[in-house]
Structure 1
Amino acid sequence: MNSNIKNTNAPISTTTINKNKVDAPTGNIYESISIVSKRSNQINVEMKKELLEKLDEFATYNENLDEVFENKEQIEVSKYYERLPKPHSIAMEEWLDDKIYYRHTQENTED
């Protein structure tokens, strides 16, 4: 995962954001939200992948599926990820800090 995701200043709780700051780069609030949404999905995939890799390090494999082991390390890793800002909050912070690269892909309509 990018280290900037863990070291972000993104808020953990809901905050109000000035609409004019959000749509300033594109001039269109819907386009801006779409870009932030795509970045949020990327961050979510990265975070989930890293979380599952870390949890797998502490996994206890047992042939008896009825037994459930509470692994202290797994619980601590899970709690750490629960305390991180949500992906949409991180993505919006990146957007407002001009850290998201985007480009327009348009089909050529000339015949």
Structure 2
Amino acid sequence: MAIQTLDTTKLADETGNLYETVTVISKRARQLASKTKAELDQRLSYFEDLALDPAEELRSNEDQLRISLEYERQPKPSRAAIEELQDGELYFRNPTASEGDGA
């Protein structure tokens, strides 16, 4: 996989400043990573309680490897978060920013 250069100015336009953009992307990436890990753990938990003979165990290991490789091939969470931001699919708000005229 080649390194891809991102236009940080364009990314910063989404939130107003680059620091906030990095914060939004990193929080979303952590959410995606956590969700993916939970899905993977759930799929692999099936194999934990199986008492198998050696031939079935080999097949079980192959299935576990296939599942793990499937998740490994998915886009990295940071890449997915950046794409969501660029596509306008990522909702975020700054709770410290003043809302409306409010005094």
TM-score (norm 2): 0.78
Higher relative contact order (CA 8 A, sep 6+): 1
User: Cα RMSD between the aligned structures?
Assistant: 2.2
**Match runs of 1:92-111 below 5 Å:** 92-106=82-96
Task: Classify 1:33/1:107 alpha carbon distance in 2 versus 1 (closer, same or farther; 3 Å).
Answer: closer
1:74 maps to which of 56, 61, 64: 64
Number of residue pairs aligned between Structure 1 and Structure 2 = 92
Following superposition, the deviation at residue 60 of structure 1 comes to: 4.5
1:47 maps to which of 10, 33, 36: 36
Task: Classify 1:107/1:90 alpha carbon distance in 2 versus 1 (closer, same or farther; 3 Å).
Answer: closer
Question: 2-side partners of 1:73 and 1:59: how far apart?
Answer: 12
Question: 1-side partners of 2:75 and 2:19: how far apart?
Answer: 23
TM-score (norm 1): 0.73
Bigger radius of gyration:
2
Gaps of 5+ in 1: 1-11, 63-67
Q: Contact 1:58–1:73 (CA<8 Å) still a contact in 2? A: no
Task: Classify 1:91/1:45 alpha carbon distance in 2 versus 1 (closer, same or farther; 3 Å).
Answer: same
Task: Classify 1:78/1:13 alpha carbon distance in 2 versus 1 (closer, same or farther; 3 Å).
Answer: farther
Question: 2-side partners of 1:48 and 1:13: how far apart?
Answer: 25
